[in-house]
Amino acid sequence: MSVKEAVKISKETLIKPFEGCAIILPNKLVKAYPDPGTGGKPWTIGYGSTGPDIKEDTVWTLEQCEHALDEHLLYFMNGILKLSPKVAQENPKRIAAILSWVYNCGLGNYRISTFKKRIDAKDWVGAQEECKKWNKAAGRVLRGLTIRRNAEAVMLG
């Protein structure tokens, strides 16, 4: 139950507010936008969805955005549980924070990160510190990422 609850908390408290659903057109369709860090690739749509099929001219419905978010959350949660199985025993807020971080930074980065090492060691103070370090895109500190990492760090505590 805690994993399912964590996915909901992460989606509503961290991911949707920080990712947003940018560029909603007057006809209620959603248009792809360039990555805020690079000003280009990867093109993004909905709540942070990227991939080879998402290009500058991609347009989705709000329903497609919600569906993609739900699919991605399941994918990332399953990946976290494979890489850090003991996370499933943590409180939902901690799981939610980890899921938000992984949704934003990726499983590859999680796999090799000191953030994961701290989580696996149940070093929550260390995990909070490591979480906050991931506030850059294309080498630049982004205010939005700093705010997001701080929110995730609070939930890890």
Q: What are the residue boundaries of the structural domains of the chain, listed by start?
A: 2-19+63-156
pLDDT at 1: 59
pLDDT at 21: 87
Residues of the chain with pLDDT under 70: 1
Candidates 9, 35, 1, 4; CA nearest to 93 is: 9
DSSP result, 33-74: B--TTTSSSSPBBTTTB-STT--TT-EE-HHHHHHHHHHHHH
Contacts of 66 (CB under 8 A, 6+ apart): 46, 47
pLDDT tens for each residue of 116-133: 999 999 999 999 999 999
pLDDT at 70: 96
61 to 31, 45, 75: CA distances (angstroms): 9, 10, 21
pLDDT at 14: 96
pLDDT at 25: 86
The pTM is what? 0.92
pLDDT at 36: 74
Neighbour-count burial for 70-102, b at 16+ CB within 10 Å, e otherwise: eebbeebbebbeeebeebeebebbbbbbbbbbb
- Residues 103 and 76: their CA atoms lie apart, in Å, by 6
Class of domain 2-19+63-156: mainly alpha
End-to-end CA distance of the chain: 20
The residues carrying an active-site annotation are 19
pLDDT at 131: 98
